């Protein structure tokens, strides 16, 4: 396993653990994070966004079907699954807990610099409950 995959795995473990400090540490300060909720341009902002999802879906887990690494880039196919038991705070407005379980298939393309994710573009597909 190379540096790009290791850095991406560190990010996903931090998100699953709800550890915002570890999330920030896994990303560069100037990380470009292009999420469905809108782009953010710092590791701190990306960690805050991911933290909002982990608050809303505290049991959420990532499951990967495929990972391909080339140099400083890693592409991943997986699912994000969890139960919506907390309020999801977003710029578009808060979404109260529904108690529903969801599975979101996604593909993510990430670049790494100095052992930290410097850009990532997760692309979710269809929401399944």
Q: Where are the domains of the chain?
A: 3-124
Do the Cβ atoms of 33 and 111 come closer than 8 Å?
no
Q: Residue 114's pLDDT is what? A: 95
pTM score of the predicted model: 0.86
Q: Residue 40's pLDDT is what? A: 85
Q: Given 3.50.50.100, 3.10.450.50, 3.30.365.10, 3.40.309.10, which CATH number is that of 3-124? A: 3.10.450.50
d(CA 115, CA 60): 25
What is the pLDDT tens value at each position of the chain, 129 positions in all?
Answer: 799 999 999 999 999 998 999 999 999 999 998 876 678 889 898 888 888 889 999 999 999 999 999 999 999 999 999 999 999 988 788 999 999 999 989 999 999 999 999 999 888 765 555
Q: Residue 49's pLDDT is what? A: 85
Q: How many CB atoms lie within 10 A of CB 92?
A: 8
């Amino acid at each position: 396993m190379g540096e790009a995959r290791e850095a991406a795995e560190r990010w996903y473990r931090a998100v699953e653990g709800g550890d915002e400090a570890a999330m920030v540490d896994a990303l560069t300060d100037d990380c470009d994070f292009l999420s469905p909720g809108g782009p953010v341009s710092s590791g701190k902002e990306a960690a805050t966004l991911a933290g909002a999802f982990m608050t809303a879906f505290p049991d959420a887990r990532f499951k990967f079907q495929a990972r391909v690494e080339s140099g400083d880039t890693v592409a991943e196919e997986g699912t994000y699954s969890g139960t919506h038991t907390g309020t999801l705070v977003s710029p578009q407005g808060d979404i109260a807990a529904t108690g529903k379980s969801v599975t979101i298939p996604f593909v993510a393309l990430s670049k790494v610099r100095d052992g930290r994710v410097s850009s990532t573009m997760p692309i979710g597909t269809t929401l399944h409950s």
